[in-house]
Amino acid sequence: MDKIKQKQAVLSWLKVYGPLTTRTAVDELNIMSLPRRIMELRREGYDIRMTYHSSPNGNRYGVYELMGKRCQNVEK
């Protein structure tokens, strides 16, 4: 899957299903570089936030969430 289709898949997931982890991106979307796709979407103006969570065994992982509409001012 090329990076444009990956970005579209990530954005669709965030809109339809909500929060997305790297593990889910690999397992469900076959995307190995979620942070890069998130960065590209942010550069396009999407407000995507990442929060850390802890698993029961103490491992930390990031969860990405689309916060709403596209931002007005975008840094390039």
Which residue carries 């936030």 as its tokens?
49
Count CB-CB contacts under 10 A for residue 6: 20
As a CATH number, domain 3-70 is 1.10.10
Q: Which two tokens stand for residue 72?
A: 């007005």
pLDDT at residue 71, as a whole number: 60
pLDDT at residue 72, as a whole number: 60
CA dihedral 26, 28, 24, 50 (to 10 degrees): 90
pLDDT at residue 69, as a whole number: 67
pLDDT at residue 30, as a whole number: 96
User: Domain-by-domain residue ranges, the chain?
Assistant: 3-70
Residues of the chain scoring pLDDT < 70: 69-76
Number of residues that this document lists for the chain: 76
